[in-house]
Structure 1
Amino acid sequence: MSTPSVPNGSGPLSTSQVLDAVAQFEALSTVIVENFEVLAPDHAHDAYKSIEKARKRLAVIDATYVETMKGRMPSAEHRQIAWLAQEMRISRAEARQRINVVGRLSRNVDPFAPANEDVRMPNLRQKVEEGVVGADAVSKIDKAVRELPATEHAQLSRLLDKHIADLVDKIRVDDLNKLPNRLRAMLGVDDPYTDEDRARKRSLKIGAQGPDGMSRLSGVVTPSFAAVLKRLQADHARPGGLLEEGADDQRNPEQRFHDAVEAAVNGGFQPGGDLQPARGTTSVVTVAHIADVAALAGVSLPDGKDFVLPGSGKAVSDAGVRISISQAVQQMVDRNSFLQVLGNEGQTLYFGRSRRLGTLPQYLALLGEEGGSSAPGVGTPGAMCDVHHVQSWSSGGGTDLDNLTLVDPGTHRKIDDARCDENAWWTLRPDEVPAILGTDEGDGGSGECEPASTNRVVWVAPKGKEGNRKAESNEDPDTFDSPGRWLRRKAREKRAGGHSGWQWRDGTGSRWVVG
């Protein structure tokens, strides 16, 4: 089977050459399907990754096809979805996803469309052409951007294009569901919903029993209730949770969560109840900047306005749920109450509680300073993390707050505490990077901006195929506005002269400017 000839430097392929390439593509897919099973596991894994890369690139074909066929398709979007599903014998969900990516991946602008409808993202398209992400990721990004002010979608798409394109190969596709939180924080867009709005929407309903005696539970819960439920899930819905020691747990995640909720309702998920929290607390940690605390006393601090947290007056649970401070305080009056105060560098200045604690304050302080796992490429909330010594205990690292970090269990198992195995993860304090990697902690050895600057720990990835190692950081959208990381980022920008390269809304709220 020959490869279509491509004349060097003579422009794009002709129609006949493209059609020949498509025919060969289809024929090759048949050959691969019929013979893939002969591959050994290692070869199968590498081959499958190559196939996945090609599959992601096809999102560009989806967008180009839909644009080409617009003259034959119905004008209404919902009818376009039905048409594409019918013509290609695919589900409506798949058809909807393919149509959703068109605006982001289009190469050319519609000359007859208004300028404020141009939502193309060429840098994101480049990532798709490289096989980094596919239609599923682009669809999630499209949804996140559309949740921002509708009148400015075109301008925001241009401003956010490079930032999002730089982000997509650093996080998991599912974590793009949390992108709206990052974008609102980055652009200074306030949460459009109030506690009263959420209270009006709350509901919980148990349906009638079915023929098998089971009932469907459905509803919409408040952030404060979600925080408690997610903490319950983290503590008691893990494999083996609520079972006897050593029992073989055959339950799926949903079944484990069901059993945990049932046990909590029966036994009481609270300190002193029959079902004790795994870390001894169900409390939501209230995190505040020192300037916010001073403002309560009517005192204005120097530089206080330079370090305003996004969504000031916010509390974040260790399961990653955001609730307002007013709601958190009201709910936690009769429970264990915590207050963490952060300084301009995102460090803990004060952590207090009405009762004496052991090591729990260190864990809770890490929540405010890191928000979740500090490991690159994961979005695990703090409640599901282990506490890890950045410099191992055996090599002299103390159990001090500045030598501790939150790490998801999956990554924790892959860390080499001795820092000898180059095929494993290493963790370093920022001041150790020059001596060990020979680079500044701020550029990660790659010349890129701020990989390590918003983390208390620098991660060194396992040696890649190219044989090089570099410092990395966690870019999870859900912890972008975590108070500690936010303050460290702002402090770094201030030291660098106040220019971060990010785009921010100005004080009037009427336009977008470079921060």
Structure 2
Amino acid sequence: MLEELAQAEAAVADCLDAPTWALPEHDLVAALDAAHRLEQRLAAVKLALVRELDGRGTATAQGASSTAVWLRDRLRLGVGAARRLVELAATLDAAPTGVRDALAGGAVDVEQVRVIAGTVETVHTAAGAEAADKAIGVLVDWAAQFDATLLRRLGTRILDHVAPEVADAAAKAAMEAEARRACRDRHVTLSELRDGRLRLSGILDGEAAGLLRAAIDPLTAPSGPDDPRSPGQRRHDALADLCRLALRTGELPEHGGEAAQVVVTTSFDPLALRLGAGTLDTGLHLTPETVRRLACDATILPAVLGSAGQTLDVGRQRRLFTGPLRRALVLRDRGCAFPGCDRPPRWCDAHHIRHWADGGTTSLDNAVLLCGHHHRHVHTSDWAVRLGRDGHPEFVPPAWLDPEQIPRRNHYHLRT
């Protein structure tokens, strides 16, 4: 396989250097069709490889919390794209042979495969294997004319074509299957931008969509006839208001051993003089005006570090990392420090580099922030943890994974 893929890669590289300007229009169109078919066939190969790696547990053996996280690092994908790749590989593996053959032959694309597989599963449940086989042929033919969105709509009435005697009963089953898919596909993704802002995206199921609209709509109305905000800006501000309201209730569960809170780090004297900027525990910098506004809110916890009496080393007197010591650890590590992990601080435990039971102290110099998965992994594997010369944690992989045992660091959390 490696040899064949190398030859294919070389052929594609040759195509990149081809003078497309010299081709007549009908050849350009034919080349586009051929490139699209090749893309789908390569997708089939890629999905088969992902499915095999997932089945072997390669990701967890190499220290990743899941195959999706491992793919994100290996292929430099967004974590959402990596998860979809793993899910689609499983879907294709369980799909009928005809669906896999259609993708391998370049007749359908990966999104159409997702639709066809789900529709055929519904038909099989409602009308049996014979009707499901007929549905594959019909749906593949339709896929030559319609994209995945239209194919999904047409698929809701597929039984009218392949098993009309059970179509009405199956319409109800299809609705229930759609509800299950909505439940499975629900997600919200928070993607951190370079300047510390977040891009919010996701898919809500019907119930959550109704709850969000009921909660957010009263807060999105213009503040007056001269409100300069766009509808999108008003929705943004309404979501922020919802979060403030939730924090003020005091009913949110604890995270990382502390009550839900926003931690702002600054110096006291510049803050008093209205000159000091601040930093959230996520690494985002705030203007002096914003810091002072947050400090005035009794439900927001201002964290002023470095002042007299702030003890960051409690030695052997205390085993747990709490209060100022934990906040200092969060400010240093920003989240799980294991290489490749993007889990935020509130999902993490404080790990003693030299174990407490072995005489290790509860201090910033003997601590590293780890999510639950990597905390367990470090305790049960041959990975070694230490602080580098700059005071930030680094991880030495076991020899079987890297014979040179070159230290690795987490590059997903911003350093400030």
TM-score relative to the length of structure 2 = 0.41
Greater C-alpha radius of gyration: 2
Quick one: higher RCO (CA 8 Å, sep 6+), 1 or 2?
A: 1
TM-score (norm 1): 0.35
Larger fraction in helix: 2
